[in-house]
Amino acid sequence: LLCGISSESQTPPTLELPIPDLSIATTTTYDIDSFIAKVKCLSVASKGVRVQFTPSSQKNISSDVHLFSKIEERLASGKVHVRQVPLHHIPHFYLGHMTSSLYLPLYVFLPGLWQKNLGTNSYVSNQHLQQWMDIGFIPSILRHCPPDIVQHLPLSFASASMNTFARGRELGIQNREVYDAKRQELHYFLSGRYLKPIWQDII
């Protein structure tokens, strides 16, 4: 304590600050900036889903989310080896996002497409996307959704793709990079009441 006393004074004055006898309980608060959940059915989106029928690979999970999934790998000997693969290395695509106050993206993972020699590539080819949409997802939607909803949806992967890149074609863009940049991120709403039968029909 620097109080400016003279050198003749041996003991500096004591500064006492009265502290009230209060018992204050400390609390802990948490700031959650992100979370991830695994679900087995789209019905988790009770308020509905905004679906993208031609998802861009740029929306794939590219960073490590510190989660793994068990994938069975058949060896040359015929034995099956279970491998722990980081989630962001498994082939997947962005399906859309849940309709809520928060932005909650939905991803579909296809562990059957994972191959050891592909390394960290999580890209799903347009061929596989088309098969998933045209053979599974879209036919299931057509079976379980009423006409007033179906009339606003693309009836195939090719149709959805044409709508996505319609702006680039209308502008007459020839450069592929510029053409891809003109893609429209179109989403289509599916009500939560139809999601459970749609998903159960697919699996």
Q: Is the pLDDT of residue 97 over 90?
A: yes
- The rounded distance, in Å, linking the Cα atoms of 2 and 146 is 82
Give the per-residue pLDDT at 143. 95
Mean pLDDT (whole number) for 65-88: 86
- Taking 70 as the threshold, does the pLDDT of residue 9 lie above it? no
Sequence ranges of the domains in the chain = 42-202
Please tell me which of 19-23, 78-82, 146-150, 181-185 the model is most confident about, judged by mean pLDDT. Answer: 146-150
What is the rounded average pLDDT for all residues in the chain? 84
- Phi-psi region at 172: left, alpha or beta (left = phi > 0; alpha = psi -120 to 50): left
Q: Please give the average per-residue pLDDT across 94-117, as a whole number.
A: 88
* The pLDDT of residue 27 is above 60: yes
Measure the CA–CA gap between 129 and 156, rounded to whole angstroms. Answer: 11
- Cβ neighbours for 169, distance < 8 A, ≥ 6 positions apart: none
Query: Given a cut of 80, is residue 102 above it in pLDDT?
Result: no
- Summarize pLDDT for 143-196 with one digit per residue, the tens: 999 999 999 999 999 999 988 887 766 666 555 554 455 778 899 999 999 999
Q: Name the residue with higher pLDDT: 109 or 3.
A: 109
Per-position DSSP letters for the chain, written without gaps between them: ------TT-SSPPPP------------------------S-GGG-TT-EEE-SS--GGGS--S--S-EEEEEEE-TTS-EEEEEEEGGGS-EEEEEEESSSS-EEEEEE-GGG--GGGTT-----HHHHHHIIIIIIHHHHHHHS-HHHHTTS-SSHHHHHHHHTHHHHHTT---HHHHHHT-----EEE-GGGHHHHHHHH-
Please state, in angstroms and rounded to a whole number, the distance separating the CA atoms of residues 9 and 21. 33
pLDDT score at 200: 94
pTM of structure: 0.74
